[in-house]
Amino acid sequence: MATCLLAIETSCDDTSAAILCNGKVLSNVVASQLEHDSWGGVVPELAARAHLANIEVVVREALKKADISLPELSAIAYTRGPGLLGSLLIGSSFAKSMALGLGVPLIAINHMEAHILAHFIDEPRPDFPFLCLTVSGGHTQLVVVNNYNNMEVIGETLDDAVGEAFDKIGKMMGLGFPAGYKIDKLAQQGNPLAFAFPIYEVGDLNFSFSGIKTAFLYFIREKSPVWIETNLADVCASIQHTLVSLLMKKVLKAMDKTGLKQLALAGGVSANLGLRKRLEEEAQKRNWTLFVPDFQYCTDNAGMVAMAGWFKFQNKEFAGLETAPNARLKIGE
Ligand code: KG4
Ligand code: ZN
C-alpha cells in the first residue's frame, strides 16, 4: 500500500493543500485570495479569515483529486513559518486537529526550505550540494543546499524582498497588486535600456532593494499619466532589467565563491521571464546546470510542503502538538 501525506500551506495569502504518495505529488490545490487586490497589498486579518473560509474546501478537493480517503493518510505536513502569524495559525491548527483526529504524525515545515525542496517534485532533480536563489514577495536569499536538512544562507536582502520591489514599483505605475507578472508581461514589449536607474549595492552576497524603489518613486512622480501610459512597456522593461541585474550580480559572485555548478531558482519571482532568460544565458556560458520548477511549484503551494514533508517522514522527523507557528522561522531552525 502507498504511503500518503496531506500537506497544508497557509503562510501568506494562498490557501493550499496537496497529497503526496510514495514521493509523488498527486494533487496540488491552491485557492488564491483576491480580496487583497483593492488594498494594494496583503491585509493580514483578511488573509487569516479567508484561510479559515477556504481550508476545508481546499483539503477536500486535494483528497478528491488524488482519489485518496482520510484513513489512507500516514502523516500531515504543514507550514510552521515564516509567514503571517494569523495565516500560519489557521493552517497549523487545522493540521494538528487532523493529525490528532486520524492518529497520525505531524510534520512541521519551514516555508523557505519547502520552496527549495520543490525541485525534488519532478525530474530533472539537482544533486546535493547546489546553490538556490529564492526570490519571492517576502524573501530574497542565496542558499547553499547541502542536504534537505542542511542549508546555509550565504546572502539575503537587508530590506525589501525583490518581489516586494516589483509589487511596490507596479503600484506606483497604477498596475494594482500583485504587479510582478504584469511588469514582466509589459516588459516583453519594451526596451530594457530605455531608462537608467541607479543601482544601490550592499556588501558581500547581500541584496538591497529599497534604494531602487525610492529612485523609481522620484522618477515616476514627475511624469504625467499620459506619459506613463505611452512609455509603460519601456519603463517596465527598464526597471525589470535593473532588478534582474541586481540579482544576477550576486548570483555570479555566489557561484564563483562556492564553486558550485548547479543553480536552482525558487519562489514566486522565479516565474519572471527576464530573470529566467539572463540565468539561462549565464548557465550556458559558464556550464552550469539550471533548475527551474514547474510554474505551479514556483509560487506558494502545498506540493512543495508535501515534498519537504516526505524527506522528514522518511527520517521520522515528527513534530509535537505543542509546536508553535513561528512568523520569523529561519532556515535550519
Ligand atoms: O512565492 P510567492 O508566491 O509568495 C511569497 O512567499 O511571497 O511570491 C509572490 C511574489 C509577488 O511579489 C509577485 O509579484 C511575484 O512573486 N511574481 C513575479 C512574477 N510572478 C510572480 N515577479 C516578477 N515577475 C513575475 N513573472
Ligand atoms: Zn513563498
- Taking only the tens place, the pLDDT of each residue in 298-323 is 889 999 999 999 999 999 999 999 99
The length of the chain, given as a count of residues: 333
How confident is the model over 49-94, as pLDDT tens digits? 988 989 999 999 999 999 999 999 999 999 999 999 999 999 999 9
Mutate to test the pocket of ligand 1, among 182, 278, 299 (most ligand atoms within 8 A of CB): 299
C-alpha of residue 307 to centroid of ligand 2, in Å: 15
pTM, 2 dp: 0.94
- Tell whether ligand 1 has an atom less than 6 A from the beta carbon of residue 208: no
> Cβ distance 285 to 106 under 8 Å?
no
Q: How confident is the model over 12-34, as a mean pLDDT? A: 92
Cα(100) to centroid(ligand 2), Å: 27
Q: How far apart are CA 63 and CA 178, in angstroms?
A: 29
Q: Ligand 2 centre and the CA of 244: distance in Å?
A: 19
Mind listing the pLDDT tens digit for each residue in 125-168? 999 999 999 999 888 999 999 999 999 999 999 999 999 999 99
Count CB atoms within 10 A of the CB of residue 4: 20
Please tell me the number of the ligand nearest to residue 269's CA: 1
Cα–ligand 1 centroid distance for 247 (angstroms): 15
Q: 209-254 pLDDT, tens per residue?
A: 999 999 999 999 999 999 999 999 999 999 999 999 999 999 999 9
- Whose alpha carbon is nearest atom 2 of ligand 1? 268
Would you say the CB of residue 267 lies under 6 angstroms from ligand 1?
A: yes
Burial class (CB in 10 A: 0-12, 13-18, 19+), 269: buried
Angstrom distance (rounded) from CA 105 to CA 6? 11
| Phi-psi domain of 228 (left: phi exceeds 0; alpha: psi -120 through 50; beta: other) | alpha
Q: pLDDT band at residue 32, thresholds of 50, 70 and 90?
A: confident
Of the candidates 333, 317, 301, 311, the one whose C-alpha atom is nearest the C-alpha of residue 128 is 311
